[in-house]
Amino acid sequence: MKTAATSMGATPQNYVGELLLRAPKKPKGYLWILKGFQRFVAEQAEDKSVSAKTVRHWLNDRIRVWPFPRLAERACVVDRFLNWMVSRGALPNNPLADLRTKYGQRATAPVVRALLNPNFEAALEALRPALRFGSFLGPVMREDVALRKAMGYRYTTQEQRYLRLDRFLQGRPDLSDRPLTVLIREWTNRRSGPQQVLECHLTGRALSRALSRIDPTVENIPWDRRIKQEAHLRHRRPYIFSEQEVRCLLATALSFPSPQSPLRPHTAHMMLVMAYCAGLRVGEIVRLNVEDFDAIDRSIEIRGTKFFKSRRLPLSDSVVAAFQSYLGARQQAGAPTKPDTPLFWHPRPAGRYSYSRGRDLLVRVLRRAGLKPATGRRGPRIHDLRHAFVANRMLAWYREGVNPQSRLPYLATYLGHKDINSTLVYLTITQELLQQACERFRVRGARILQASTEGGKA
């Protein structure tokens, strides 16, 4: 391997040099990992080639020295290096990439874990994903999804529920001749928590309707209100950020440590501004392009989001100022300025923050601000900023003497909801909001009482 690769210029030094790693210690670390792997292949492999067997022996040798997380990370370095060698023609194939493709894995770590298993062949087979709608009810589910999408629905949530049920049924072929109610009950018994029980119930109802279109004798599963009530009682309550907490959060974002990416603090700050001041969802934030912000009209365009709705939102003076400051920092960072480029840009090949990458960045800011525990899924969520936007908007209307009831349709349009019922979910009653409503009721009631008393005397 070493001689052939060297003759073609496919060496670890050339590979690391092309990566343009910013951290000063990373090139040395990458070289140390790759040269160690090359030495192992040269010393241990019988034919001096990089095969799946050689990679498995290297992993079992290194697991004695490195903990699994470190080994998985370094195996990814080797995996990318082998891909680079294949692209240079120095290797015929990358065994790790072949295993990922064969067993339907996007990441390297699951393959590494399976190769470390004494019964690695069975462990690799366990990685193979289940067939999509491959159960005995799979064709019915697939047809129902296709029908709903043809009618104009996205139907992605129900499709994911069907796929979870389908994976369960593929492991339980013994249920193929049982009634649908029994299938759903068996599936429900394997789930835990009221929210998951509600998901099973909703999936069963949707599937029963799909089956009844084919066979009218199939009985629809009736709606059980108690399941919905139990899930609602146990549902995670939104956290309403105070104005002081929002200021702390924004200040923390601007001071976020990021020596290798100076634009990242400005990006996190602007994302939080859009989440709190405009009530945007994380998915809407990361999909914004440069052309969506109109500095002259002082507005931003949100395109093709939930419920197939697009909307143009007016922005306050402070949000426009924050936008202009962010665009200046973005230009200094060397980001592309074409209208169709991502607004929230990063120098990685993708160029755009994905949903998970943007959410994780904002969660790190939440933790650093002390508003969320260091680990776990406890504490405020990023989506709670949208709830806080609605609650504080309602509070501002009460303080200004505006009737909030007349403004709810405008609020629903601003949030991108299809009707006012979706907006009502965000109306969280805080103590201050309750006091404002009670005070308004007291003033109005006093006027009515005074008018009735004066009328009685007359």
Q: How far apart are CA 38 and CA 58, in angstroms?
A: 10
For residues 137-164, one letter each, b for 16 or more C-beta atoms within 10 angstroms of the residue's C-beta and e for the rest, the string is: bbebbbebbeebeeeeeebeebbebbbe
Q: In this predicted structure, what is the pLDDT of residue 274?
A: 96
Number of neighbouring beta carbons within 10 Å of residue 91 = 21
C-alpha angle with apex 438: 433 to 442, nearest 5 degrees?
A: 150
Contact 293/312 with Cβ under 8 angstroms?
no
- Chain centre distance of CA 52: 33
Task: Output the tens digit of pLDDT for each of the chain's 458 residues.
Answer: 544 455 457 899 999 988 877 777 888 999 999 999 999 998 875 666 788 999 999 999 999 999 999 999 999 999 999 999 999 998 999 999 999 999 999 999 999 999 999 999 999 998 988 889 999 999 999 999 999 999 988 889 999 999 999 999 998 999 998 999 999 999 999 877 899 999 999 999 999 999 999 988 888 899 999 998 988 888 888 999 998 999 999 999 999 998 888 999 999 999 999 999 999 999 999 999 999 999 999 999 998 777 677 899 999 999 999 999 999 999 999 899 899 999 999 887 778 999 999 999 999 999 999 999 988 888 999 999 999 999 988 888 888 888 888 888 899 889 988 888 888 888 887 777 778 778 777 777 666 666 666 665 55
Exactly one of 56, 74, 80, 281 is catalytic; which is it?
A: 281
> Annotated catalytic, 306?
yes
Could you tell me the residue ranges of all domains in the chain? Answer: 2-127, 138-234, 243-386
Angle between helices 180-189 and 194-214 (to 10 degrees): 160
Report helix, strand and coil shares of the chain as percent, to nearest 5: 65, 5, 35
**How would you classify the pairing of strands 293-294 and 311-314?**
unpaired
The encoded tokens of residue 302 equal 């949100």
Exactly one of 306, 352, 367, 368 is catalytic; which is it?
A: 306
CA 366, 370, 376, 381: dihedral to nearest 10 degrees?
Answer: -40
Contact 339/269 with Cβ under 8 angstroms?
no
Q: In this predicted structure, what is the pLDDT of residue 71?
A: 95
Query: In 3D, which of 266, 258, 294, 253 has the Cα closest to residue 385?
Result: 253
> Annotated catalytic, 372?
no
Q: In this predicted structure, what is the pLDDT of residue 307?
A: 67
Strands of 17-61 (E only): list them: none
Q: How far apart are CA 419 and CA 292, in angstroms?
A: 24
Q: How far apart are CA 11 and CA 30, in angstroms?
A: 12
Q: Please state the φ and ψ torsions of residue 233, each to the nearest 5 degrees.
A: -65, -35
CATH code of the domain made up of 243-386:
1.10.443.10
